[in-house]
């Protein structure tokens, strides 16, 4: 494992709500790829691309709705950082670069738009 100045992120799988496992890839420039721990889950996350599916089946890729939440500060794809089981629609999204956060919850009808702070 190489050295990196990037903080360790606690990325959640948007489907299973479990913390994803970090895998360092040697290219390009120690890219950080997060993978779901659940067997057969093809959901992955990396900062520049955001969430994506690592599946060869194009039909699976077409059927899955992938969250595309971008940071208003720097345009980076945000990751799901927290969910609350008691509030089904609550989602805390966090930017991997500037740590800006956004919340969507029951009061926002599932829409992003309430700033939680940086």
pTM of the model: 0.73
Tens of pLDDT, residues 73-113? 999 999 999 998 888 889 999 999 998 999 986 444 334 44
Q: Which residue has the higher pLDDT, 59 or 47?
A: 47
CB 36 within 8 A of CB 18: yes
Residue numbers of the domain that contains 32: 21-117
How many helices, marked H, and strands, marked E, lie in the chain? 1, 8
Instruction: Note whether residue 69 is domain-resident.
Output: yes
Instruction: Note whether residue 51 is domain-resident.
Output: yes
Instruction: Note whether residue 2 is domain-resident.
Output: no
Instruction: Note whether residue 7 is domain-resident.
Output: no
Instruction: Note whether residue 57 is domain-resident.
Output: yes
Residue 61: beta bridge partners? none
Instruction: Note whether residue 99 is domain-resident.
Output: yes
Domain count for the chain: 1
Instruction: Note whether residue 105 is domain-resident.
Output: yes
- How is residue 30 written in tokens? 């120690």
Q: Distance between CA 71 and CA 39 in Å, rounded? A: 30
Instruction: Note whether residue 9 is domain-resident.
Output: no
């Amino acid at each position: 494992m190489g050295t990196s100045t990037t903080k360790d992120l606690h990325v959640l799988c948007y489907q299973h709500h479990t913390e994803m496992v970090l895998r360092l890839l040697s290219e390009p420039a120690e890219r950080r790829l997060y993978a779901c721990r659940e067997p057969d889950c093809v959901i992955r996350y990396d900062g520049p691309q955001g969430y994506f599916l690592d599946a060869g089946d194009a039909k699976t890729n077409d059927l899955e709705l992938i969250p595309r939440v971008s940071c208003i500060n720097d345009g980076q794809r945000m990751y799901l950082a927290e969910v609350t089981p008691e509030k089904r629609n609550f989602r805390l999204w966090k930017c991997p670069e500037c740590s800006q956060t956004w919340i969507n919850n029951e009061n926002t009808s599932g829409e992003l738009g309430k700033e939680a702070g940086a």
